[in-house]
Structure 1
């Protein structure tokens, strides 16, 4: 896995990362741990007194525990240390005179075969091999030693029977024979440890070694064998004649030992005397700590840290067979993969994902790098979200399974699966405002890993697609925010049931477009099953009838009159409307309908752009009607969608709005190649938009603005959309060439003055802001603004048409402002009285 070293650099050959080739110690990432371990072994062997004898009470343990989480590189490290100690060519290593005995992988030993027998077999095989190789040099003394070895080996036979707990040769025999054999059997058991120590001493003498080296790899992967090996070390290997290298995760061994003591206590004690259960738990805590401290003293534990806290991370380099001979810095490659694959711009966000990746197991990091390496042929190559999403998805697959994410559907690019996962996991995380940024920050490890994988999926979904970006914006972060605000009004106690009803109503997890979401979001925002203020986040309630107020005018009356006049055009405001069927039928204007309609217009089609615009707009004029959510009735509502009037309108296809939309669609297809949003960017756009809309709604709900018309309120809703996309794209869009602007004026949201937003567009360049150009420049948005001098710079910067000004005529804007809003109708009525 690791190739060569250029002092003081460590170089990792990614193309060889899947090979099991031997690794030199100075090429180990954990070279400091190797030095610490070998120094401890050398110090103990050199300082050991030759007269020191084995003590069953104290032990002379040389058991070294190599601690690390799964995938931390323990097996690689263990193999390198074992080979270095046993076959190393340096003078320091040779001076230790260590003889290799066995590198044990307990998972490959038959479940019924005791590990002790495997060690005895290796001792005998090693001695026999040594004798064969040195037969011509054997003397009488060496023959006597070997004969002594064979006799000593035979003395173990009786005690070895005791290792098989299921076999008892004393069953059903004569009493006198039982006594004789029982005493002999007890003697064999008592003498087994001593006889084994004598055998090891003879082995070291024959091999001319100070100690035998045993390496045991990941015994914690098999609980039965793990417990057996721990007892083997405690009873037989805690001697200065063994150097035992032991790998694993201390957390797993802690569970293993605890399970052992719980098993010994038995359920019967817990049931018969529950009053002392707390005392028993404390006793088990103590026994667990002391057992592990005796086997693995603190000063003999070697920690293999993750890359994140590696002191020399800047000195780690990467090579690959297709890269050429020049190594590349690990940190540079990782930063490039994160930046390109996740479409990040902010240094803070890049650092956050970099930290997350370095905290993963070493095996995971190397496999992800190896997957990406073929796409980084030159140092200027970049990784696409598609490549990184595949690697990230495989790296955290277990966490995605745990969180019940359909990995196959996710890999196939299924949008409903992605949005459903983002919705569920963000709610589980509990960070409703910022959770949908999908930063790897949750406390729960599986959530953290899932967020990282979903971030790459969002970048892949939205790459070069404005429609997917808007769809995810609304259905992902938008659904989370709406659920948070509507949960208190849902008369459902169970959270799971409430989530299910909410998802069904907004079609989360189903293949529905963004306009369908926008329609259903309107009554959720307005809480239409109960009385509410007529102006809320991005939505305005409009009167359907004038009632007794002769001064009031309905929006339908205004729009119908505009349609009939030959010199007037239907404004974009007409396509913001939705009727909600409830106890009282209600009409709403929503800025979210405008965003949803954008997605429909950007669908792939073989139609002429103008024909496509006409067809799509005709489907939502007259205004559609949907059912309100009846959260309190215990069942999700039957979703109905119909039109108030099925008479097809006679559109003027030569109208300015239709022509501008057709031109916008064509221009968007050219601009979309530069659209590269991240989950963070889209999340931030939603957050800024959502709270901006709330502020505008609150402002125009006050008594001071009680006469402000629907057109003016919708004008500021539109400014909120333009401003939110522009500000966040400036700071977080991957392809934006502009440095972040920290001035208060730039980040200021619209509230009462449109000139504040207009001034931001004086030096606007479309090439630097593709998302703002497309969304903010859509005629459906710009036509909600009056064609007045206040928006001169904004129209000039964003309009796709050089011939037609996209703003709504000032007289039309003023006419729509006459549309009755319920609170205005009530005020006018009270004034007339």
Structure 2
């Protein structure tokens, strides 16, 4: 736990990139510091330190500081090393210790043996001693002569440390025997002579032990193995306090690699049948080796900040940009999470907080440090732009591992973001909730990628309703549709099935949401004709009346053609898509409305009226696409879109519907800056929309007794869209300061009564619902509702043009309701 009894911990964020020593009372791991120094003090004051050293038993005083990369081990080690050798530190007051070396093996020339480095430091320590002598050459008393003699005796054994050099090569037999025996004696006596030298050094310096700190030995496998052997053979003395840091998992791999190198491959070739025995033997050797070097009672584990939950409120942070002001770490982190990820729910904020607090300490502090210059004023907030850059840098390795193009993300390419979310959500396996991008997957790399992508979603969709709708459909929408489509793709290869699906929907390519919506209809309805006629947001319509016994039901094309002779085209006509297959099917899809809405919201060089007219004319003739390649009724290539002629634009631009849509488009410019969605919000909107559309389709299925026509079914599909955006924006939109609505009526989805949705707009302040105002206020959506008093409050709050009723005239609505729905077949 944190050491907060005496003084609160204060961290200077600007020093998060350095590993310099800090005061013990400023250590986050204050409890671990006390535990370690108490153990050292207890051992040095124990009578066992005076016992004669035994090469067989050793008398190890090696303390292992364990922790993952970035856990603060280097900072902790530096603080302990300086505290142990400082006379002012109260924790170890009265101990006689001398600092020998703070060693980072990864920074030493790989050809230099670490043992030589330590011997050199001992010699240098004596040379620099001014307590009783001026210099090493002036030492003349008994202890100095003893030291000089013992130092000389090391020379013969030290040359044995070089495995590549053998001075006995090429000499005659008699000399070989004499020199060989002498060489063997030096090797056997090396450890013993070294410990005598250390004991004499401690006597000269008048200390009980020398302190050696070894940092990051596990980052270099060659030096790491050398460090372990150095500790095992030479540093297991009561006159050494050895502090070593590292990740025990990395050391475990290092030791295992060593044993495999010796008894692995060669023995496997000789006798592969005994591999299980060798595996078991290596497991045992690995465990015992590490237990001998680093006894359990001498291991200090540096935990992440998350483990200090009760004491984290006592940590303060400072930054040069803030002057002398101190801020609470936890409160600052929560503020960054809330504003940077655009989260509203305390539950979601706490999930991201837990994720970040479980990251290495270095990662958290550097994240805070990168955000700190943008928080000069205490109430200042972090933009998703700033946080996404920091998150991307913090988890860069995981993004690379998952094949995400970070350069494209940096430049704001939303298609790269959509492709990444789609692939990773499928990899996570949570088809319904994966697109929320909460950092919850079991796989660590996925958790990190989800957190980074969540910041990217907030950044890419900030102030952009078109990106929000595009991401809604192509991101969470694609994940949900793939789950059902995979059942129809009759191939064993998941990779090939995924490729087919991505190619059909153009995921990862520069295609807009309308293209996705067109291709969603045949996928939702299924690959064959033996399907329900009404499914999630889509209904099948007959192009001809052949086989129809009810003369009151007419093919949809005939109805729309007759309406077009007297009135302007209703919004229902823009829901249609033809699919080229054996049956030449026509579908009406609510997703086409969302896709067209997204296309209208794209920036244009034209004025709003011409822009709307241009886009509506482009699809005034129902577009045709091919069925998916895995369909039983697959047809030919997609029909090309043709740009409208100028006279066609002139003919349509004067209609009231175009003018209303242009007014809506202009109105969105004032609302767009208020759009601040999170990945959670967009994911929640999709989930509610998807399942409410499924339930609605079930309610109005043929044979249910409702006898609803196409217009009524599409009316409730439109209500599902409005309701999904309204309810989830209420609960999860960051900019909304409204309190959660606990009324069960408010969260109820539309089924058979439009009044249920209309009642939600009574006494509602639409300035707090900018996304609902943009999506729900689009004439394309409102015109799918009939002009009835049922929707009085809804029209009043959502329609931009208050002078005209935006709904579909009742007579036109009833004509569309006479449309012939394709006969339903049972599976």
Distance in 2, Cα, partners of 1:579 & 1:709: 19
Output aligned runs, 1:65-76, within 5 Å: 65-76=64-75
Question: Is 1:285 the equivalent of 2:283?
Answer: yes
- CA drift of 1:109 comes to 1.1
- CA drift of 1:214 comes to 0.3
Cα distance per residue 1:554-598 (max 9 Å; x no partner): 111111111111xx2321001111111112211111000000111
Q: Which residue of 1 aligns with 2:373?
A: 374
Q: Which residue of 2 aligns with 1:560?
A: 561
Which range moves more in the overlay, 525-534 or 302-311? Answer: 525-534
Q: Which residue of 2 aligns with 1:672?
A: 672
Distance 1:217 1:140, change over 3 A: closer
Which range moves more in the overlay, 665-674 or 61-70? Answer: 665-674
2:183 to 164, 182, 185: 185
Question: Is 1:155 the equivalent of 2:153?
Answer: yes
Cα distance per residue 1:120-171 (max 9 Å; x no partner): 00000111111x5632699999622111111101111111122112222223
Cα distance per residue 1:517-567 (max 9 Å; x no partner): 1011111111244432221110111111111434431111111111111xx
Question: Is 1:80 the equivalent of 2:98?
Answer: no
Unaligned runs of 5+ in 1: 828-833
Cα distance per residue 1:326-379 (max 9 Å; x no partner): 211001100000000000000000000000011111111111111100111111
Q: Which residue of 2 aligns with 1:765?
A: 765
TM-score when normalising by structure 1: 0.95
Distance in 2, Cα, partners of 1:74 & 1:636: 63
Distance in 1, Cα, partners of 2:821 & 2:620: 21
Distance in 2, Cα, partners of 1:625 & 1:220: 62
RMSD (Å) for aligned C-alpha atoms: 2.4
Q: Which residue of 2 aligns with 1:207?
A: 205
Distance in 2, Cα, partners of 1:208 & 1:518: 82
Distance in 1, Cα, partners of 2:445 & 2:702: 46
Structure 1 outlier segments of 4+, above 6 Å: 137-142, 632-637, 643-647
Given that residues 660 and 801 in structure 2 are in contact (C-alpha distance below 8 angstroms), is that contact kept between their aligned partners in structure 1?
yes
Given that residues 504 and 636 in structure 1 are in contact (C-alpha distance below 8 angstroms), is that contact kept between their aligned partners in structure 2?
no
Q: Which residue of 2 aligns with 1:831?
A: none
- CA drift of 1:281 comes to 1.1
Q: Which residue of 2 aligns with 1:18?
A: 17
Distance in 2, Cα, partners of 1:662 & 1:91: 76
1:256 to 240, 254, 257: 254
**Secondary structure of the corresponding residue to residue 488 of structure 1:** helix
Output aligned runs, 1:31-110, within 5 Å: 31-49=30-48, 51-90=50-89, 93-110=92-109
Q: Which residue of 2 aligns with 1:165?
A: 163
1:228 to 210, 220, 226: 226
Cα distance per residue 1:209-235 (max 9 Å; x no partner): 100000000100001111111011011
Which range moves more in the overlay, 136-145 or 256-265? Answer: 136-145
Distance in 2, Cα, partners of 1:167 & 1:215: 30
Given that residues 66 and 299 in structure 2 are in contact (C-alpha distance below 8 angstroms), is that contact kept between their aligned partners in structure 1?
yes
**Secondary structure of the corresponding residue to residue 99 of structure 1:** strand
- CA drift of 1:632 comes to 6.3
Distance in 1, Cα, partners of 2:59 & 2:636: 75
Q: Which residue of 2 aligns with 1:194?
A: 192
Q: Which residue of 2 aligns with 1:477?
A: 476
**Secondary structure of the corresponding residue to residue 243 of structure 2:** strand
Output aligned runs, 1:101-140, within 5 Å: 101-130=100-129, 134-135=132-133
- CA drift of 1:639 comes to 3.9
Distance in 2, Cα, partners of 1:658 & 1:636: 34
Distance 1:424 1:140, change over 3 A: closer
Distance 1:635 1:205, change over 3 A: farther
Distance 1:659 1:139, change over 3 A: closer
Distance in 1, Cα, partners of 2:751 & 2:634: 39
Distance in 1, Cα, partners of 2:398 & 2:506: 25
- CA drift of 1:699 comes to 1.6
Unaligned runs of 5+ in 2: none
Given that residues 529 and 629 in structure 1 are in contact (C-alpha distance below 8 angstroms), is that contact kept between their aligned partners in structure 2?
no
Distance in 1, Cα, partners of 2:225 & 2:527: 63
Distance 1:60 1:34, change over 3 A: same
- CA drift of 1:643 comes to 7.1
Distance in 1, Cα, partners of 2:146 & 2:51: 21
Distance in 1, Cα, partners of 2:159 & 2:50: 32
**Secondary structure of the corresponding residue to residue 681 of structure 2:** helix
Given that residues 59 and 238 in structure 1 are in contact (C-alpha distance below 8 angstroms), is that contact kept between their aligned partners in structure 2?
yes
Which range moves more in the overlay, 642-651 or 182-191? Answer: 642-651
Question: Is 1:357 the equivalent of 2:335?
Answer: no
Question: Is 1:703 the equivalent of 2:703?
Answer: yes
Q: Which residue of 1 aligns with 2:307?
A: 309
Which range moves more in the overlay, 487-496 or 111-120? Answer: 487-496
**Secondary structure of the corresponding residue to residue 821 of structure 1:** coil
**Secondary structure of the corresponding residue to residue 619 of structure 2:** coil
Cα distance per residue 1:443-484 (max 9 Å; x no partner): 111110000000000000110111110000000000011111
**Secondary structure of the corresponding residue to residue 589 of structure 1:** strand
Distance in 2, Cα, partners of 1:628 & 1:612: 30
Question: Is 1:776 the equivalent of 2:776?
Answer: yes
Distance 1:51 1:540, change over 3 A: closer
Given that residues 470 and 514 in structure 1 are in contact (C-alpha distance below 8 angstroms), is that contact kept between their aligned partners in structure 2?
yes
Distance in 1, Cα, partners of 2:525 & 2:644: 24
Q: Which residue of 2 aligns with 1:425?
A: 424
Which range moves more in the overlay, 79-88 or 412-421? Answer: 79-88
Given that residues 700 and 708 in structure 1 are in contact (C-alpha distance below 8 angstroms), is that contact kept between their aligned partners in structure 2?
yes
TM-score when normalising by structure 2: 0.96
Given that residues 491 and 632 in structure 1 are in contact (C-alpha distance below 8 angstroms), is that contact kept between their aligned partners in structure 2?
no
Distance in 2, Cα, partners of 1:727 & 1:477: 18
Distance 1:149 1:560, change over 3 A: same
Q: Which residue of 2 aligns with 1:793?
A: 793
**Secondary structure of the corresponding residue to residue 416 of structure 1:** helix
**Secondary structure of the corresponding residue to residue 745 of structure 1:** coil
- CA drift of 1:391 comes to 0.4
Q: Which residue of 2 aligns with 1:660?
A: 660
Distance 1:279 1:720, change over 3 A: same
Distance in 1, Cα, partners of 2:730 & 2:60: 63
Distance in 2, Cα, partners of 1:636 & 1:375: 56
Distance in 2, Cα, partners of 1:744 & 1:327: 44
Which range moves more in the overlay, 159-168 or 380-389? Answer: 159-168
Output aligned runs, 1:436-515, within 5 Å: 436-515=435-514
**Secondary structure of the corresponding residue to residue 231 of structure 1:** helix
**Secondary structure of the corresponding residue to residue 88 of structure 2:** coil
Distance in 2, Cα, partners of 1:493 & 1:16: 54
**Secondary structure of the corresponding residue to residue 94 of structure 2:** helix
- CA drift of 1:655 comes to 3.1
Distance in 2, Cα, partners of 1:288 & 1:498: 44
Cα distance per residue 1:398-434 (max 9 Å; x no partner): 0000000001111111111100000111111111110
Given that residues 5 and 11 in structure 1 are in contact (C-alpha distance below 8 angstroms), is that contact kept between their aligned partners in structure 2?
no
Cα distance per residue 1:199-258 (max 9 Å; x no partner): 000000111110000000010000111111101101110111000000000000011111
Cα distance per residue 1:613-672 (max 9 Å; x no partner): 111100001111111111269999744434799995884544332222111111111111
Q: Which residue of 2 aligns with 1:319?
A: 318
Distance 1:51 1:247, change over 3 A: closer
Distance in 1, Cα, partners of 2:768 & 2:614: 33
- CA drift of 1:50 comes to 5.8
